[in-house]
Amino acid sequence: MKIGITCYPTFGGSGVVATELGHELAKRGHEVHFISYALPSRLNVFAERVTYHEVSVPSYPLFQYAPYDLALATRMTDVALHEKLDLIHVHYALPHAISAHLAREMLAPHPLKVVTTLHGTDITIVGQDRSYLPITRFGIEKSDAVTAVSEYLRDVTLKVFTPKKEIDVVPNFVDPERWAPGRESAVASCFTHGGHRMILHVSNFRPVKRIPDVIEVFDRIRKRTPARLVMIGDGPDRPAAEELCRERGISSLAHFLGNTPAVEEIIPAASLYVLTSDSESFGLSALEAQACGVPVLGYRAGGLPEVVVHGETGFLREVGDVDGLADDGAAVLLDPVRGKAVAAAARKRAVELFNAEAAVQKYLAVYDRVLAA
């Protein structure tokens, strides 16, 4: 099968899942062509049967904003025609689903199927903006198949957009060999010297992640047991987060690493992973942490309860309850027996329910269905 994949190339969850899916498909003998404006952050262009096609967006004085959606549609058309693609799988509804529909129209009567995967803010935030809701609904309706990464996201999509089509739920996934306990690098171990426990957070530092809550949770925990905070990622709320650490007098214990590659070599060194988003469609980083045997502290919001089982693989509190999360985190750190039990349960659930093989087979079933139709 020849498959085109379009995603955002940034460190966000949708681009990560799309890239990992492409790698898994290529391993299974399928030919995969990535189409985006930049190289996806985790894409290995040297992998067999994986090709990257860059979208060039021309600048012209008449355009106040470069028309990326039209340039993307044109590039999709070119790749589909010359590489003889069977289908295009787009991740994140806007503008990818619209561009794919335009490409299909330009290719007619040459057949090209379109599969759209919804990842979260394309439905919960962007898609519900009055400026984008009608065209988001259009993109969903014109796709040959639509998938969502969680039951929560599917339910929100059905409620808000009332599409006249079935939405398959295909959860995000991890490679259990890549995301595993004991794989931490020597660099990661430097954060745990002197008996400190590493408390970790990875995100795009946007308001929805409630970065100050991460710091507040850490500040409460480190008063009960020696700990260091490691923050991976970058975004608009990072300067305020660094300032808050200075105000709390914990700058020497808080390490901001930016968009660090090879996160799988840092996560296994952590003792706790904190994800305090007030809305999380799935929580891929929480799944990656659990696969590495790291318990998760988070809020009972969105699709995160589908990933984290309270009291078993981590701990969930209502949005804003930093005291409760700190109590849970400190308790598990101060009880080694319980800590090991939660870590083992987290790893077991991640590997059994969210492994790559299961997810890839579900996506292949969707592909076969649309191609047969």
- CB contact burial 33-70 (16+ within 10 A = b; e otherwise): bbbbbeebebbeeeeebbbbbebebeeeeeeeeeeebe
The SS3 of residue 34 is strand
Whether residue 180 is contained in a domain is answered as no
**Same domain membership, residue 197 and residue 339:** yes
Q: Is the dihedral of CA 316, 318, 320, 325 positive or negative?
A: negative
Whether residue 68 is contained in a domain is answered as yes
Please name the helix (run of DSSP H) or strand (run of DSSP E) that holds residue 203, with its range, or none.
strand 197-203
Measured at the alpha carbon of residue 199, what is the angle toward residues 197 and 203, in degrees to the nearest 5?
160
**Same domain membership, residue 361 and residue 346:** no
**Same domain membership, residue 110 and residue 7:** yes
Whether residue 362 is contained in a domain is answered as yes
**Same domain membership, residue 111 and residue 207:** no
In the block, tokens 């809701």 appear at 133
Look up residue 196 and give its DSSP letter.
Answer: P
**Same domain membership, residue 100 and residue 42:** yes
Q: Is 29 exposed, middle or buried (0-12, 13-18, 19+ CB in 10 A)?
A: exposed
Whether residue 80 is contained in a domain is answered as yes
Cα(270)–Cα(250) distance, integer angstroms: 18
Q: Is the bond preceding residue 109 a cis peptide, omega within 30 degrees?
A: yes
**Same domain membership, residue 212 and residue 98:** no
Whether residue 158 is contained in a domain is answered as yes
**Same domain membership, residue 221 and residue 120:** no
Q: Which residues contact 92 (CB under 8 A, 6 or more apart)?
A: 7, 8, 14, 117, 118, 119, 122
**Same domain membership, residue 228 and residue 79:** no
pTM: 0.93
Give the pairing of strands 314-317 and 296-299. parallel
Whether residue 204 is contained in a domain is answered as yes
Whether residue 179 is contained in a domain is answered as no
Going from the C-alpha of 38 to that of each of 7, 56, 72, 258, the distances in angstroms are 10, 9, 12, 19
Number of domain units in the chain = 2
What is the side-by-side strand order in the sheet with 113-118? Answer: 50-54, 31-36, 2-6, 87-91, 113-118, 145-148, 167-169
**Same domain membership, residue 78 and residue 225:** no
CATH number assigned to the domain comprising residue 310: 3.40.50.2000
**Same domain membership, residue 326 and residue 206:** yes
Whether residue 50 is contained in a domain is answered as yes
The SS3 of residue 324 is helix
**Same domain membership, residue 168 and residue 217:** no
**Same domain membership, residue 204 and residue 110:** no
pLDDT in tens, the chain (373 residues): 999 999 999 877 899 999 999 999 999 999 999 999 999 988 998 999 999 999 999 888 888 888 999 999 999 999 999 999 999 999 999 999 999 999 999 999 999 999 999 998 888 877 678 889 999 999 999 999 999 999 999 999 999 999 888 999 999 999 999 999 988 887 777 898 888 999 999 999 999 999 999 999 999 999 999 999 999 999 999 999 999 999 999 999 999 999 888 899 999 999 999 999 998 999 999 999 999 999 999 999 999 999 999 999 999 999 999 999 999 999 999 999 999 999 999 999 999 999 999 999 999 999 999 999 8
**CB of 262 within 8 A of CB of 283?**
no
Q: Which domain holds residue 242?
A: 186-353
Q: Which residues contact 42 (CB under 8 A, 6 or more apart)?
A: 15, 16, 19, 20
Q: Is 109 exposed, middle or buried (0-12, 13-18, 19+ CB in 10 A)?
A: exposed
Please name the helix (run of DSSP H) or strand (run of DSSP E) that holds residue 163, with its range, or none.
none
